[in-house]
Amino acid sequence: MSPGALASCWQFLKCWTNNPHIHSMGVISMLFRHRRRRPIYIGLHLRPLSKKMRVRLTLFVVLAAVTAFFTQASLDLRELSCDIALSNAEDAMILRINETIYDEFAEKDYDYDYFVTLERDNNGKVVAVYANMARINALSSKILKNVVNASNNGDLSIEIPIGTLTGASLMMGRGPKIPVDITALTSSHVDFKNELISAGINQTKHQIKFVIVMDVYIALPWSKVTTQVQNEVLIAETVIIGDVPQTYLNME
């Protein structure tokens, strides 16, 4: 030990002897106060994956990605098929309504006088308009019944080609077809409506319309949806010359 170190130890012992009240923990802290702190390193060793484990991990990632892709694609195709089915079902229902009304009017000659009676005064002026609700209700019920029967008999069933669901123009109408069943619900109804429209100077056009409201149930292989189809059809009209009549009976 060098003379300098011996002198330092002697001074420390002398200080300890002359100051017995110094706490031991204080001494220890004095001894280690000037020690240099060294960083601590933790060694972590990972074993490399075997070739078999790397193959399994790769297959798992690929399978997860493919599953996620097809799941999202399936959801998108279902949503798109429902939208197309709704649109086609509405078109088919409106077409069927119009065909039913056309066939009915072709079979029997319905005119304005069949549904409405005009009352005139001595001068020929129309003073009152009377609607024959019995005839109007009979015709509306017949039209509704024919449309509902057509849907229940499967006449309104449609098909959607799978190629149409891709959205590609070259695939439109191609590929296997998805069956879509359309059924009219019993909540469907026909409302009666009349309108008075100005047709010129001292002239009024009176129109009688059917507002046909069909509640439709649409069934696809993977989904079922409901919608409401409304179609307004003109069934009779005439032009009233003179002042607008002040009396309307059974017109609502």
Predicted confidence pLDDT, tens digits, the chain (252 residues): 555 555 555 555 555 555 555 444 454 455 445 455 566 655 556 677 677 777 888 888 889 888 888 777 777 677 777 788 788 888 888 888 888 888 888 888 788 888 888 888 887 787 778 888 888 888 888 888 888 887 777 667 777 777 776 666 666 767 777 778 887 787 888 888 888 787 777 788 888 888 988 888 888 777 788 888 888 888 888 888 776 665 554 455
CB-based contact 148:216 (threshold 8 Å) = no
How many CA atoms does the CB half-sphere of 144 hold within 13 Å?
23
Q: Cα(169)–Cα(154) distance, rounded to whole angstroms?
A: 29
- Mapping DSSP onto H, E and C, the string for the chain reads CCHHHHHHHHHHHHHHHHCCCCCHHHHHHHHHCCCCCCCCCCCCCCCCCCHHHHHHHHHHHHHHHHHHHHHHHHHHHHHHHHHHHHHHHHHHHHHHHHHHHHHHHHHCCCCHHHHEEEEECCCCCEEEEEECHHHHHHHHHHHHHHHHHHHHCCCCCEEEEHHHHCCCHHHCCCCCEEEEEEEECCCCEEEEEEEEEEEECCEEEEEEEEEEEEEEEEECCCCEEEEEEEEEEEEEEEEEECCCCCEEECCC
- Predicted confidence at residue 44, as pLDDT, reads 58
CB-based contact 213:193 (threshold 8 Å) = no
Strands 224-241 and 203-219: what pairing? antiparallel
Partners of residue 128 on adjacent β-strands: 119, 247
The domain locations on the chain are 51-249
- Predicted confidence at residue 40, as pLDDT, reads 60
- Predicted confidence at residue 28, as pLDDT, reads 47
Question: Two tokens at 245?
Answer: 């009549």
**Amino acid code (one letter) for 134:** A
pTM of the predicted structure, to 2 decimals = 0.60
CB-based contact 233:101 (threshold 8 Å) = yes
